[in-house]
């Protein structure tokens, strides 16, 4: 019986909150088999061990201990050693530590004490979580919502076209579509903000490593351009003045997007901002591809949120 259908009876007004239990351990307490130890709240949150999407720990299980997935698809699918779980066998596993085939679960799996209806609420939530985590994932493509407005939309499309000349996400190609697996406009806004913070730190670090470097923090006035200095700057600040600065005997160390992004922007008659959007889109797509075949929304967002997009900028010395 499908997981959601089997657990549908748990969805009543005022039912225990399966989402809060899964993510924060609310409404749960537990002990470790063979001990008197009592665990509460976040210490017993399902997501803490089984991952934010229920598909296993992220990025790896603590101490090398194997931790199985508990997402709906994995639980309901029979394996070589056990039948699939239904609502009743899931509740028994949760509260008694007994697998769907009657074997005791590993001692590391807590034995839970829950309020009435919590096992059913958790079971129902796992089905909803699985559906939410894979919305927009299709056998041959991954739907993404792209940023609105130009040139951001054109830059994102160009990055996707270049990415799709490869294998995509293990055979799934990212496309603009609905329902969206991720809002790429939102993702890019977050990456851009973090890049701006990291860019300043990178520029300061470069300047500190160069004797007598001049770190530019704002665009120089054409009438007061320096001479015979080693200038460190964001390429966007220097812009068309780069040639004049070189003619005045200056050396330049600039941070800018990779050559392919810069070449695309020049060919389209666009500026460095568009090149940065293309770079950030390419970086986000590469992170998604790095998640392997088992893509999920929460896992992808965690990986993106841990990225350092300022590291994607290239150093150019002239």
Indicate the pLDDT class of residue 64, thresholds 50, 70 and 90.
low
What's the confidence (pLDDT) of residue 12? 41
Q: Is it the case that residue 6 has pLDDT exceeding 80?
A: no
What's the confidence (pLDDT) of residue 295? 87
Q: Would the pTM of this model clear 0.85, i.e. be above it?
A: no
Average pLDDT over residues 278-301: 93
Average pLDDT over residues 96-103: 92
What's the confidence (pLDDT) of residue 40? 59
Q: Is it the case that residue 7 has pLDDT exceeding 50?
A: no
Q: Is it the case that residue 44 has pLDDT exceeding 80?
A: no
Gap between the Cα atoms of 8 and 179, Å rounded? 24
Alpha-carbon separation of residue 262 from 186, 234, 240, 241, 309 (angstroms):
23, 14, 14, 17, 16
Q: Is it the case that residue 287 has pLDDT exceeding 50?
A: yes
Q: Return all residues near 139 (Cβ < 8 A) that are at least 6 apart.
A: 172
pLDDT-wise least confident of 97-111, 176-190, 227-241: 97-111
What's the confidence (pLDDT) of residue 43? 65
Q: DSSP code of 7?
A: T
Alpha-carbon separation of residue 268 from 89, 262, 272 (angstroms):
60, 10, 11
Q: Name the average pLDDT for the chain.
A: 87
Q: What tens digit of pLDDT does each residue of 195-247 get?
A: 999 999 999 999 999 999 999 998 888 888 999 999 999 999 998 899 999 99
What's the confidence (pLDDT) of residue 45? 86
Gap between the Cα atoms of 122 and 18, Å rounded? 4
Number of alpha carbons in the 13 Å side-chain half-sphere of residue 164: 14
Q: Is it the case that residue 309 has pLDDT exceeding 90?
A: yes
Tokens of 185: 């406009």
Q: Is it the case that residue 18 has pLDDT exceeding 90?
A: no
What's the confidence (pLDDT) of residue 206? 96
Gap between the Cα atoms of 248 and 315, Å rounded? 21
């Amino acid at each position: 019986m499908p997981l959601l259908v089997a657990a549908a009876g748990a969805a009543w007004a005022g039912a225990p909150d399966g989402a809060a239990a899964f993510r924060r351990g609310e409404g749960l307490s537990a002990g470790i088999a063979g001990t008197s130890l009592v665990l509460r709240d976040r210490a017993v949150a399902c997501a803490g061990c089984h991952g934010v999407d229920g598909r296993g720990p992220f990025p790896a299980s603590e101490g090398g201990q194997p931790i199985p997935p508990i997402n709906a698809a994995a639980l309901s699918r029979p394996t070589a050693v056990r039948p699939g779980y239904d609502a009743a066998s899931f509740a028994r596993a949760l509260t008694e530590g007994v697998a769907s085939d009657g074997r005791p679960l590993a001692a590391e799996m807590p034995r839970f004490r829950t309020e009435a209806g919590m096992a059913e609420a958790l079971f129902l939530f796992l089905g909803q979580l699985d559906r939410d985590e894979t919305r927009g994932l299709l056998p041959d493509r991954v739907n993404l919502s792209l940023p609105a407005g130009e040139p951001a939309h054109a830059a994102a499309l160009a990055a996707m076209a270049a990415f799709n000349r490869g294998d995509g996400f293990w055979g799934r190609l990212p496309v603009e579509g609905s329902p969206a697996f991720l809002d790429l406009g939102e993702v890019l806004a977050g990456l851009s903000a973090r890049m701006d913070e990291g860019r300043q730190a990178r520029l300061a670090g470069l300047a500190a490593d160069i004797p007598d470097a001049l770190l530019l923090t704002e665009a120089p006035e054409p009438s007061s351009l320096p001479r015979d200095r080693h200038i460190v700057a964001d390429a966007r600040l220097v812009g068309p003045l780069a040639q004049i600065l070189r003619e005045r005997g200056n050396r330049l160390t600039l941070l800018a997007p990779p050559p392919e992004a810069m070449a695309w922007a020049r060919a389209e008659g666009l500026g460095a901002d568009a090149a940065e959007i293309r770079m950030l889109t390419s970086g986000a797509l590469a992170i998604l591809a790095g998640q392997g075949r088992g893509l999920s929304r929460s896992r992808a967002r965690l990986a993106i949120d841990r990225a350092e997009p300022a590291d994607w900028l290239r150093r150019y010395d002239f």
